Structure 1
Amino acid sequence: MASDTGESVGRVRNRRGFLLVAAHTLWLWLLLTPAAAIARGQVQPAAAATVGLVAFALFYLALVAVPVADLAVRPALHHAGLAAFALLGVGLAVVYGGGPEGWLVLLMYVAAAGAVGFVRVAWGFGWVGGSVAAVVAIGVGHGLPAGDTAQTALITVLAGTLTLAFSRTARLVEELRRTQRELARTAVQQERLRFARDLHDLLGHTLSLVVVKAEVVRRIAPTDPHQAAAEAADIERIGRTALSEVREAVTGYRERSFGRELDSVRTALADVGISVTVRETNHPLGVEADDAFGWALREGVTNVLRHSRASRCEIEVVADARESVLTIRDDGVGGRPQPGNGLRGLSERLEQAGGELHVAPVRGGGMLLTARVPHSPAGRWTR
């Protein structure tokens, strides 16, 4: 998919480049003057001058087409072509520059070809400067009027510098377009990653809760059918809620409320016989902390339900003017935490909010999850 897009963009760029090269032929009208002198018999030998002038024009268009149409030509070969083109232009100017109809104008095309062909601006300026120096040297060598030589030198300077500016602008525009395409591709990848992470966080917790409650139903069904039916109804409610949340995740419009998650995990932990202690400060959570802590609470309690075999879980939220801190501590089996998809995705969420996640075993048994999010002045009240 990405390669097809790149090939399509390349074809469009090449087609646009060839149109520019075709339009560039209009600039060759200045060569009509020496061509007319050849036709009038003012230049001898006429055959050599004609072949040289035609070769010069075709050589110029070929060299311009390489950068403009983005042709696959090695830089070394292109630079060698520029050197040969410059020798041809200087040779024609030296041989015929003393005659009528000013062949010095050919060096203007030499300056322009180098200006559009060199990627490094310093090399382009050096090339233009060399072309201007050649104009002055040949004009003085042939004893041409100082005014004519100065005029041609000025035209060469203007043509070279304007071509340099145009080429630099075109390259910057192309680089900007390339950057925009890369940013768009990266944005798509990030959105896919966010969607995968959201689905894992949503379904991982919910399915774990469904499994736990299903085990409760299986255990108490023979002795307490009414309680088992109530638990089964709760499983149905959880399933419907999960379906709604998945639909919201697909559309990309959902809001994770820390308060709602806190009520949910209290119920889930109590249903499996884990004692829950919750401590909160009165300071409100900002919008970043409210969203991130909702996911942290969901992931942390999911791990308690799955792996801890704990009997007690403590949840504490501390918020002040500088930061908000969520801690989840249990008295389970502890051990070294394994950074799976859930913890990795949670770490990414907290990093996006400017915070951090730390998970470590507690001395004496159990695990401690700590999530920190710095205070944002634009945060809103959530509780």
Structure 2
Amino acid sequence: MTGETVVAARPARRVGAPGETAPTVLKSWLARLDRLPDHDIPAYRLTRFITFVPFAWIVSQSLLGLLREHTRPALLVAFFVLVAVMFAAQAVVMTAGTRHRTDGRLLPILGVQAALTYLPLLWYGDPWTSMTGLLAASVLLVNVRGAWLVWSLVVLSVLGISWSRAPFLPAASHAVHTVLMGWMIWGFSRLSSLVAEVHEDREELARAAVSRERLRFSRDLHDLFGCSLSSLILKGELAHRLVPAEAGRAREEIEAIVATSRQALTDLRVMARGYRSPLSFAAEQESVRSVLTMAGVDVTMDITAPHRLDPALDEALAIVLREGAANVIRHSEAKNCQVTLTASGGSARLVMVNDGVVPAAAELRGGQGLANLGARMAELGGRAEAGVREGGRFLLLAEAPLNS
């Protein structure tokens, strides 16, 4: 040896990338797997079927025990009749007891099942003892007051009846069998109930999602095209009046109509694809100023809020501005409109005030458009309100936190 020290390199204990742990790697690996569609595994039907498997196993064990004892044919026929009644009672208890508050209404059925569990012991003996597992499960499923005490009495009764006819160890085996079968049937019944509840909740969530999407589509349709169509109507009427006297000006207005129509068509196509590009408040300012000025309204805009707002808030305020301009055109004879956007105390506040309120049209201000604005601002933790103020002026206010 030359005196050099050789240090054995220890293998690095790496699971994945640096900083990753085994659960993280497992989650990322599972995320890359394709999920099975729901219809490939009919979970509810499968759990309902599994629920009755212990029942079938108990009946088969009792039947085999009777056949080994060469039971008379009449008792075998009675056995199948009793099993049919027991099955019906057990099915009612497993279905109703796990899905509804029965408030003691299942007690008569539980009493019938108890009678069918203990009385046939006089004729069938030990082979019928396994039926006590069904009774133990029903006691827990009915869930009456003192259910666990009654359940314990059922188990002790099995131990006592079996011990009177056989040594202690076989009797204890019957009692353990009753405990296990009772818990198994109770567990499978609860599992089936939970699966059914999950399916119902998912269907309800799907219906709620469809309703929300319909509301969103209706709201977007109104908010996107309300101002555009109002502008088209206004420009069309203006062009119609200008044609005889000012052909050049009329041509400009018709070109503007075509441009607005194309933009409306673009908005419609984008919204139909489901990923509409967000509106911009800054861009909407110029559009609103142009439309209102063309309608003969003197527009004053005082914008002191930050240039860059949260995208969701910026889009919501742009829609409020567009809806406000559409209402000014449709529902008033305004000569002046003042738009103010301020930011203070962590909130953005947009106020639109116009004169020329038409009394007959003032009642229309609470229509779908304003309701949509209220819903949009509420989603951002804010509010929107509108109404006629003193002096015959109409005020539209929208406010929401800056960090929505």
What TM-score do the two structures reach when normalised by structure 2?
0.77
**Contact 1:334–1:366, Cα closer than 8 Å, also in 2:** no
Whether 1:132 aligns to 2:155 is: yes
Query: Partner residue of 1:104?
Result: 129
Once the two structures are TM-superposed, the CA of residue 27 in structure 1 deviates from its matched residue by 4.3
Query: Partner residue of 1:205?
Result: 227
| Distance (whole Å) between structure 2 residues aligned to residue 253 and residue 214 of structure 1 | 30
Query: Partner residue of 1:4?
Result: none
| Distance (whole Å) between structure 2 residues aligned to residue 352 and residue 375 of structure 1 | 13
Once the two structures are TM-superposed, the CA of residue 212 in structure 1 deviates from its matched residue by 1.2
Counterpart amino acid of 1:331? D
User: 1:248-259, aligned counterparts within 5 Å?
Assistant: 248-254=270-276, 255-259=278-282
Once the two structures are TM-superposed, the CA of residue 109 in structure 1 deviates from its matched residue by 2.9
Gap change, CA 1:199 and 1:121, over 3 Å in 2: farther
Once the two structures are TM-superposed, the CA of residue 275 in structure 1 deviates from its matched residue by 0.9
Aligned with 1:159 (options 181, 196, 215): 181
Once the two structures are TM-superposed, the CA of residue 241 in structure 1 deviates from its matched residue by 0.5
Query: Partner residue of 2:295?
Result: 272
Give SS of 2:391's match.
coil
| Distance (whole Å) between structure 1 residues aligned to residue 53 and residue 190 of structure 2 | 20
Query: Partner residue of 2:355?
Result: 331
Whether 1:369 aligns to 2:396 is: yes
* 1:132-172 residue CA offsets vs partner (Å, 9 max, x unmatched): 243245346x4643333333222212221232222222211
Give SS of 2:181's match.
helix
Query: Partner residue of 2:373?
Result: 346
Whether 1:316 aligns to 2:305 is: no
| Distance (whole Å) between structure 2 residues aligned to residue 85 and residue 54 of structure 1 | 15
Give SS of 1:107's match.
helix
Once the two structures are TM-superposed, the CA of residue 240 in structure 1 deviates from its matched residue by 0.6
Once the two structures are TM-superposed, the CA of residue 268 in structure 1 deviates from its matched residue by 0.2
Gap change, CA 1:139 and 1:19, over 3 Å in 2: closer
Once the two structures are TM-superposed, the CA of residue 52 in structure 1 deviates from its matched residue by 4.1
Query: Partner residue of 1:296?
Result: 320
Gap change, CA 1:136 and 1:24, over 3 Å in 2: closer
Counterpart amino acid of 1:109? L
| Distance (whole Å) between structure 2 residues aligned to residue 371 and residue 262 of structure 1 | 16
**Contact 1:321–1:375, Cα closer than 8 Å, also in 2:** no
Give SS of 1:171's match.
helix
**Contact 1:56–1:89, Cα closer than 8 Å, also in 2:** no
**Contact 1:21–1:69, Cα closer than 8 Å, also in 2:** no
User: Mean alpha-carbon deviation: is it higher for 367-376 or for 331-340?
Assistant: 331-340
Counterpart amino acid of 1:31? S
Number of aligned pairs? 354
**Contact 2:114–2:135, Cα closer than 8 Å, also in 1:** yes
Whether 1:30 aligns to 2:61 is: yes
Counterpart amino acid of 1:274? V
Gap change, CA 1:17 and 1:80, over 3 Å in 2: same
Once the two structures are TM-superposed, the CA of residue 13 in structure 1 deviates from its matched residue by 5.6
Whether 1:87 aligns to 2:115 is: yes
| Distance (whole Å) between structure 1 residues aligned to residue 341 and residue 86 of structure 2 | 73
User: 1:6-25, aligned counterparts within 5 Å?
Assistant: 17=48, 21=52, 24-25=55-56
Identical aligned residues as a percent: 31
* 1:320-342 residue CA offsets vs partner (Å, 9 max, x unmatched): 46111111111222655531111
Give SS of 1:354's match.
coil
User: Mean alpha-carbon deviation: is it higher for 155-164 or for 145-154?
Assistant: 145-154
| Distance (whole Å) between structure 2 residues aligned to residue 67 and residue 250 of structure 1 | 50
**Contact 2:279–2:319, Cα closer than 8 Å, also in 1:** yes
Counterpart amino acid of 2:316? A
| Distance (whole Å) between structure 2 residues aligned to residue 135 and residue 20 of structure 1 | 23
**Contact 1:258–1:293, Cα closer than 8 Å, also in 2:** yes
Whether 1:286 aligns to 2:310 is: yes
Aligned with 1:356 (options 360, 374, 383): 383
What is the root-mean-square deviation in Å for CA atoms of aligned residues? 3.2
* 1:81-135 residue CA offsets vs partner (Å, 9 max, x unmatched): 44323201101224554xxx454222123223555x64x4868646633422432
| Distance (whole Å) between structure 2 residues aligned to residue 123 and residue 242 of structure 1 | 69
* 1:36-91 residue CA offsets vs partner (Å, 9 max, x unmatched): 3431x6xxxx4564344323333333344447789xxx979976444323201101
User: Mean alpha-carbon deviation: is it higher for 18-27 or for 363-372?
Assistant: 18-27
* 1:232-276 residue CA offsets vs partner (Å, 9 max, x unmatched): 110111111001001111111111221221111010011112111
**Contact 2:351–2:396, Cα closer than 8 Å, also in 1:** yes
Counterpart amino acid of 2:352? I
| Distance (whole Å) between structure 2 residues aligned to residue 306 and residue 204 of structure 1 | 10
Structure 2: unaligned runs, 5 residues or longer: 1-38
Give SS of 1:157's match.
helix
**Contact 1:315–1:328, Cα closer than 8 Å, also in 2:** yes
Counterpart amino acid of 1:88? L
Query: Partner residue of 1:3?
Result: none
| Distance (whole Å) between structure 1 residues aligned to residue 285 and residue 297 of structure 2 | 15
Gap change, CA 1:136 and 1:259, over 3 Å in 2: same
